[in-house]
């Protein structure tokens, strides 16, 4: 009886460790994915960072612009 209770708790511990490890992996991979995605400063749509034009505004603020918004800006400038 004691042995089966001990076996049950060790199995419970093993499951808890597996879930903890899985959660740790999920936490360590998720921010890496989110870091590559930024919203466009104009249309607020989410894009991968390599698809965006990056500009530093002021001293430290980084802003990202998508291709469609840059083209729209270019079209607006050509009308001036």
Q: Looking up tokens 């870091």, which residue turns up?
A: 35
Is residue 42 within the footprint of Zn ion (CB under 5 A)? yes
DSSP helix, strand, coil percent of the chain (3-state; round to 5)? 60, 20, 20
Q: Which is nearer to Zn ion, 16 or 48 (CB)?
A: 48
Q: Phi then psi for 62, rounded to 5 degrees?
A: -100, 135
User: Whole-number minimum distance, CB 31 to Zn ion, in Å?
Assistant: 24
Stretch that binds Zn ion, among 5-13, 20-28, 35-43, 50-58 (CB under 5 A): 35-43
Contacts to Zn ion by CB under 5 A? 40, 42-43, 66, 69
């Amino acid at each position: 009886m004691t042995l089966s209770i001990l076996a049950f708790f060790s199995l419970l511990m093993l499951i808890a460790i597996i879930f903890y490890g899985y959660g740790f992996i999920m936490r360590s991979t998720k921010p890496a994915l989110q870091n590559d995605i930024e919203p466009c400063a104009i249309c607020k749509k989410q894009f991968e960072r390599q698809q965006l034009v990056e500009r530093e505004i002021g001293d430290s603020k980084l802003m990202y612009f998508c291709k469609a918004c840059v083209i729209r800006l270019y079209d607006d400038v050509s009308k001036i």
